[in-house]
Chain A
Amino acid sequence: MARPGAARQRPASEDTQVLSIQDVAMLGVAVIGGGAALLVVMSRNVVHSALYLVIALLSVAGTFLLLGAEFLAWAQVLVYVGAVVVLILFGLMLTRAPIGPMPQESDVGPWFPLVPAGGLFAVLTYLTFTQFGDERIDLTVVRTSALGQEIYVTWAFPFMVLGFFLTVALIGAVVIARREEGEGPIPAEEHEALEPTYTDSTPSPGRVAPGAGGRRAVDASGAEGPVPDEVRS
């Protein structure tokens, strides 16, 4: 780099023309990832889009390797490619995603969203090149043990909060997607077959037959009349 004692305004000026192997690798990964991302949003088949997303996320993991974040690269492959894409594919399966090309997309057409996206791209590219075009990143690998030293010592409390947050998100997703009775396109006859109705002749303590004045629910107000029969538990 700069010779000692030499006054330079841009110390890296002699090798801005020469691309190192990391530059070439970064450009290759960026081209692959950018192309895969474009195919994600432009593909007519949603399952193809999910598979192109795999390539895009793998190229993101490659970028992490080039930036020296080895643990983050592996975590990206495990979490995003391994779990999130599989989750998306399951979602596509459960929502009966069309096999084969989909018809024309949204009402505004395929060219109108290019205005905000293209404008944003132009502004951000200009800003990136003018502000960061002269800086260089040295490839220094951050070992997982060093990262672990920081996470479990300095960032221990946010780490525990993150674990708690993931648990809450998991339980929340299960509760949201749970199949409740009386909803969905299942016809009413199947609902009756799924559970026994209250018109059985078998008496059970505490259970009031419909038409006998509704449920004797413990009501805080106590001023309401009998609950109508349509109200189910």
Chain B
Amino acid sequence: MNASFPLLFAVVLFCVGVYGVLSRRNAIMVLMSVELMLAAVIINLVAFGAIAPVVEREHVGQIFALFVLAIGAAEVGIGLAIVLLLYRNRASVNIDEADLMKY
């Protein structure tokens, strides 16, 4: 398989995630777009681990990807807890309206 295909898929996912973070107004939509970016990073890690394996450290790309996967899942959990708290205090998850600390 050509090495640029999974990397290109990761680039597409990452850029779509960037677009989603910048353009969506619902806080949970922003979290979903961040998840897309994280998925792109994990694909990159596994792909680079397959392109250039290191003999002294076996499968280090996949192990690194496993850690990023677990940390991403924890981040979504805490992010959703924060969004729930925001909703409970303001009855809205619109991030454009959460601007009390703006100048």
Q: Are A94 and B36 in contact (CB under 8 A)?
A: no
Distance in angstroms from A46 CB to nearest chain B CB is 6
A170 contacts partner chain B, Cβ-Cβ < 8 Å? yes
Complex CA distance for A147 and B82, rounded to whole angstroms:
35
Contact residues of B between 36 and 93, Cβ < 8 Å to A: 36, 39, 42-43, 46-47, 50-51, 57-60, 62-63, 65-67, 69-78, 80-85, 87-89, 91, 93
Q: Are B69 and A79 in contact (CB under 8 A)?
A: yes
Please encode chain A, from 69 to 91, with 1 for each CB lying within 8 Å of some chain B CB and 0 for all others. Answer: 10110011001100110011011
- Known: A60-B43, A125-B11. Contact between A176 and B82, CB under 8 A? yes
Closest to A91 in B: B80
Task: Name the one of B9, B50, B59 contacting A137, with C-beta atoms under 8 angstroms.
Answer: B50
Contact residues of A between 100 and 121, Cβ < 8 Å to B: 102, 105-108, 110, 112-114, 116-118, 120-121
Interface residues on B, range: 35 or more
Complex CA distance for A107 and B81, rounded to whole angstroms:
26
Interface residues on A, range: 35 or more
B32 contacts partner chain A, Cβ-Cβ < 8 Å? yes
Contacts of B26 in A (CB 8 A): 46, 97, 102
B103 contacts partner chain A, Cβ-Cβ < 8 Å? no
The segment from A23-31, A188-196, A199-207, A209-217 found at the interface with B is A23-31
Task: Name the one of A16, A68, A158 contacting B67, with C-beta atoms under 8 angstroms.
Answer: A158
Complex CA distance for A166 and B91, rounded to whole angstroms:
29
Q: Are A20 and B62 in contact (CB under 8 A)?
A: no
For the complex of A and B, 9 pairs with smallest distance between CB atoms:
A41-B20, A113-B22, A169-B74, A135-B3, A117-B19, A30-B9, A121-B15, A177-B81, A173-B81
Give the interface of B toward A (CB within 8 A): 1-9, 11-20, 22-29, 31-33, 35-36, 39, 42-43, 46-47, 50-51, 57-60, 62-63, 65-67, 69-78, 80-85, 87-89, 91, 93, 96
